[in-house]
């Protein structure tokens, strides 16, 4: 189990540091706001296929990444391009707001 956790954290770290276009969602399983965002994030993933990768980071399972990106509340969304943070926002967001964040940088 611990090996899987380490492998997941390393894989996510690699994606956030080097991925072309990546949206990270830092969430917690116990967070009611994160639970309400689940269907929105799933729909966002479908809409963004071929445009960017959506990476979900469980703050309790991946504390090193959470600390590295100074995530203090959940959910927190961060848009990356090749490791550079382009946009960041915490709290419940609409599908339209997530799309607008990506389109603002990709257009």
- Choosing from 13, 21, 31, 33, the catalytic residue is 31
Q: What is the pLDDT of residues 76-107, one digit of tens each?
A: 999 999 999 999 999 999 999 999 999 988 76
Annotated catalytic residue 3: no
Q: How many domains does the chain have?
A: 1
Catalytic option among 34, 37, 54, 102: 34
Domain span at 50: 1-104
Strands (E) in 1-107, as ranges, are 22-27, 53-58, 76-81, 84-90
Provide the 8-state DSSP code for 74.
S
The residue with tokens 């990506």 is 102
**Over the stretch 24-65, which tens digit does the pLDDT of each residue have?**
999 999 999 999 999 999 999 999 999 999 999 999 999 999
CATH number at residue 7: 3.40.30.10
Phi-psi region of 100 (alpha: psi -120 to 50; beta: other; left: phi over 0): alpha
**Number of neighbouring beta carbons within 10 Å of residue 23:** 24
31 is catalytic: yes
Start-to-end CA distance of the chain, whole Å, equals 41
């Amino acid at each position: 189990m611990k090996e899987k956790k380490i492998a997941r954290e390393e894989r996510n770290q690699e994606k956030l540091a080097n991925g072309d276009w990546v949206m990270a969602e830092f969430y917690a399983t116990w967070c009611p706001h994160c639970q309400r965002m689940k269907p929105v994030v799933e729909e966002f993933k479908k809409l963004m296929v071929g445009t960017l990768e959506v990476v979900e980071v469980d703050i309790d399972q991946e504390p090193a990444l959470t600390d590295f990106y100074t995530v203090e509340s959940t959910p927190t969304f961060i848009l990356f391009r090749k490791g550079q943070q382009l946009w960041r926002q915490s709290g419940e967001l609409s599908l339209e707001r997530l799309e607008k964040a990506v389109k603002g940088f990709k257009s």
